[in-house]
Amino acid sequence: MPEIRSFRRALTALAGALLLAVTTLLAGAGSAQAALPTPVSGATARSYLASLTVAAEAHADTYDRALFPHWITISGTCNTRETVLKRDGSNVVTDSACASVSGNWTSAYDNVTTTSASSFDIDHLVPLAEAWRSGAWAWSTAQRQALANDLTRPQLIAVSASSNRSKGDQDPAHWLPQTSYRCVYSRAWVQVKYYYGLTIDSAEKTALTSLLSGCA
């Protein structure tokens, strides 16, 4: 009957549409770009910022990167750098030593892409030298190691080597990533400083106050 044939065609079309939707969803899940742990909301970041101690940076001349042990073993043969590269990339393949031999990475700082893990750096969002000048000079080695390898807070991210070099050890008053990433960056910056009890200087607070004013 015509009605039955029409109904069957409709069912076939619906099944095809559902199959396409599921296939697209699964394909997207397999290639999704990971990122650093989601930072606190803009409202929480603004609250944290208000509570941070404002103080001039100190002990800059005694900083030594070796005082922040990294990269440490995270699991099996994987150290912190390798763990972040795998987390922040898509379709990442690693060898028996946990080195990334293939994959795709996009730098949130400047939108640079690569298929070569060696061309990307793992950035300490709050630079180690900045942390030192903001109070880490008084920490134990264990505390500095925790900051340098923190995978729980939004402190580590895989980015292009060029953006990492451009940033150096500067705070948000002197360096910022591309505009579309500034809210995430400032929220993460404040969260890390708040969690570790680090100070901020006046210019840094002014910059962060402005950045966070429009962040959800």
User: What are 158's strand-pairing partners?
Assistant: 122
Q: What is the pTM of this model?
A: 0.84
187 in Cβ contact with 45 (< 8 Å): yes
Please state, as a whole number, how many other Cβ atoms lie within 10 Å of the Cβ of residue 204.
Answer: 24
Per-residue pLDDT of the chain (216 residues; tens, 9 = 90+): 444 344 344 333 333 333 323 222 333 333 334 589 999 999 999 999 999 999 999 999 999 999 999 999 999 999 999 999 999 999 999 999 999 999 999 999 999 999 999 999 999 999 999 999 999 999 999 999 999 999 999 999 999 999 999 999 999 999 999 999 999 999 999 999 999 999 999 999 999 999 999 999
34 in Cβ contact with 158 (< 8 Å): no
Please state, as a whole number, how many other Cβ atoms lie within 10 Å of the Cβ of residue 22.
Answer: 10
Q: Which amino acid is at 189?
A: W
197 in Cβ contact with 56 (< 8 Å): no
Q: In whole angstroms, what is the distance from residue 127 CA to residue 129 CA?
A: 5
